[in-house]
Structure 1
Amino acid sequence: MMLRIRTIARLTGIREATLRAWERRYGFPRPHRNESNYRVYSRDEVENVRRVAKLITEGLSVSEAIAQVRTVPVAELPVRERLEDRFWSAVMMMDADAADRVLGEAQAAMEVEPYVDTVLMPLLREMGLRLDIAREHLASALIRQRLRALLLAEDSRPEGPRVLLACPERDMHEGGLLALGLHLKRKGWRVTLLGADTPAEALRGACVQVTPDVVALSCVRRREADELRQVLQSAVEACAPAMVVVGGPGAREHLKVIFSAGAQYAETTEELVALWQQARGASNRT
């Protein structure tokens, strides 16, 4: 598919006048001409423009950025970077089928955990900076579908510890929660996923039903300290006596609040497992 300069400007954030100026001064980008003599661009050229724009934001001059992109064209990028570029290009075009095919190619080429940790989660973290709301919803839905499918495909072990996974009330971002569930399930944990926007009463009912060893809450939404304290105190009370472990960017800046509410904080799957092991060891000694 060949794209007009107006579309390229909208997709990359680089004005049409700037693109024409770059073309005159640097011979970049290099458009084709259609039958009506309008400039049209290939998807690779669109990605090159986007890469130049990114390098400029990282501090390179226009000439340095263009030279670097010319040195390593899209076709010669490492496989993972090339797949990521194709994914962003498809999302910018609102081409969900093409974007999903890219995710499928990456999955076929990698083991499960590297695929999640080095492809899906970085894409999920970057999209808020790259995309408008409509494209972010499209992209996040595709990635969450992949994560959920991987989680469901993983076999459970009936003897493992039980974890209950949820996002607190009004927190809608469950991508990190799905990745955590997958990692824990692969470590032998039994996973019960409640997902996004889970109020304290729902946590209480689920804890009564499944008696989890750990309740893990993913806080992505930014909250003021007082609001987070209230949310966590309600969760800790609802989930008692299970240990409540909190993670996510919305919690990272409020560690004192987390501890004062009676919860724990974990940055990674390994830290959550270590907290549970410490708590189990202390309980056994008692």
Structure 2
Amino acid sequence: MKPDFPDTGLTVVVATRNGVCWLPDLFASLARQTLMLARLSILDDASTDGTWDLVRDAAVPGGQTVAGRQETNEGAIGTFQRLLSMVDTEYFALCDQDDVWLSDKLENSARLLEMSGADLVYTDLRVVDEDLNELAPSMWRLSNIVPVTGHAVVPLLLKNSVTGCTVVARRQLLERALPFPDGIPMHDWWLALVAACGSGVQALHEQTVLYRQHGTNALGAAKFSSKGLSDLLERRHLTMGTYTLTRLSGRLALIRGLEERNLAHLPFLRRFYRLPTGLRLVLSPIYLGYTVTRAHVLGWRNLLVDAALTCLPLGSSHKGVTA
């Protein structure tokens, strides 16, 4: 049985940037969806290849296509913010230019959204190479992602389990989430936290997206291992010290955004993340006790890795984070 959507329907939002190689596959997969979308909203972020020509001619069966172009490169967060600010349907879905959606992705996610009453639904992904050959059957297993549900604010802050290109959510979520706070790591992480502070998040335990890996992924899939972390640092051209400081700064930006909007208050984490590395190391048992108590659903492996990256002087500066 298909979900009973009102006439206001669902908008799929796509941010594009030099994606001429990938967009034909994506658009074809959107056209095959078993749940018809009301609108496809595309914003091109100052592409320098033939992407705009593809975007301008894009269409979906039975739906409206709205395409726009930014003359200067704003980045993923800024582009998605503009796209989401224009959503006027009851529901929306986030979409990346280089992925392929399985045909029942929207239908199954929308059904769970309606049945659960949650603000946001997300799913697992199948990791594939540039030619769509399978690299890993499950992104969740590859990256040791625990699919948390409900009002899991602290677990989501410690490890974001929500991959943006799988998200289907209610427009009412945007009333609390927009505009995005300064300094957040990614828009999907912020949307997940805001949803957890509202009617909650729900995880669909299915792979609904072919998550394509190539040399220009904004984030990409990483194996949960020391080699996976090393590959991640190499891909982002970061040192361990820069990575750990950026990680804490991003979390502080998320916490600050939640507290400024009275969505959640996390004074312990806000103060702890601002401490110098030496003090965080000394107080690490307290931090671990806090996270175990409030985020035990993540499991000991995730919590120990989080504590190590947060509290150990892994090449980072001994100064506190002031974000």
Structure (1 or 2) with the greater strand fraction: 2
Q: Which has the higher helix share?
A: 1
TM-score over 0.5 (shorter chain):
no
Instruction: Find the structure with the greater CA-based Rg.
Output: 1
Which TM class, normalised by the smaller chain length? under 0.3
- TM-score computed with the length of structure 2 as normaliser: 0.26
- Give the TM-score normalised by the residue count of structure 1: 0.28
